A = this chain, B = another copy of it.
Amino acid sequence: MFYTIDILGTIAFAISGVLVAMEKKMDLFGILIIAFVTAVGGGTLRDLLIGDTPVSWMKDITYTYVIIASAIFAITFKSKINYLRTSLLLFDTIGIGLYTLIGIEKGINANLHPIICIALGTMTASFGGVIRDILCNEIPVIFRRETIYATTCILGGVVYFVLGQLPIDSNIVYIVSGFVIIVTRLLAVKFKFALPNIYNN
């Protein structure tokens, strides 16, 4: 089941990459690279930082196929992709939830401090988009908009570690903290939650 979620998340991330790359009028090769980087960039950075190489997507060719297929799909049906908006937001959000937890677990396996594990989880979920924006010559969107995109990952990570202290089955810890990320993200999108504005104007 986790694998299915992982693939759905990969699809949503790849399609978001295609849309940004097409706005920048990139050519086919550029679009494909941006789709790739958006989908696997966060996990790649995580693997590099903890030294788990070759990085994940190189060891399972499925990701490559899924990303190429998603990119072709998105390019072909670009004008109709708006109809899929809700599905894509859902895939994206579920993907973020899962990726955060995968990153945290990789950190735990590498014996890292809980705060570093949460940072790894947040990175896994959000740095594909950061690298996408850098390649597209933009200030990364998650650094600019006062949304709580990354904050939901951090929150879910904290829940994961707090529940982990209690005598609760580890699968339940996993599912509950994943749901915290997914639900807070969807609520944040719906009600436009934002981080406190630190500028006067």
Residues of A within 8 A of B (CB): 21-22, 24-31, 33-34, 44, 48-51, 53-55, 58-59, 61, 64, 75, 110, 112-113, 115-116, 119, 130, 134-140, 142-147, 149-151, 194-196, 198-199
Establish whether residues B29 and A151, one from each chain, have CB atoms under 8 Å apart when the complex forms. Answer: yes
A61 to B118, CA, bound (A): 12
A115 to B115, CA, bound (A): 36
- Which residue among A58, A139, A199 has the maximum number of chain B CB atoms within 10 Å of its CB? A58
A199 to B22, CA, bound (A): 9
Establish whether residues B58 and A21, one from each chain, have CB atoms under 8 Å apart when the complex forms. Answer: no
The 6 closest A-B pairs by CB, nearest first: A51-B53, A30-B143, A61-B113, A27-B146, A28-B195, A137-B139
Establish whether residues B53 and A44, one from each chain, have CB atoms under 8 Å apart when the complex forms. Answer: no
Residue of B nearest to A64 (CB): B115
Establish whether residues A199 and B25, one from each chain, have CB atoms under 8 Å apart when the complex forms. Answer: yes
- Quote the shortest CB–CB distance from A114 to chain B (angstroms): 9
Contacts A51-B54, A110-B54: A196 and B144 contacting too (C-beta < 8 A)? no
Residue of B nearest to A59 (CB): B112
Query: Which of B30, B115, B199 contacts A61 (CB under 8 A)?
Result: B115
Query: Which of B27, B64, B75 contacts A143 (CB under 8 A)?
Result: B27
Residue of B nearest to A65 (CB): B115
A33 to B135, CA, bound (A): 18
A134 to B135, CA, bound (A): 7
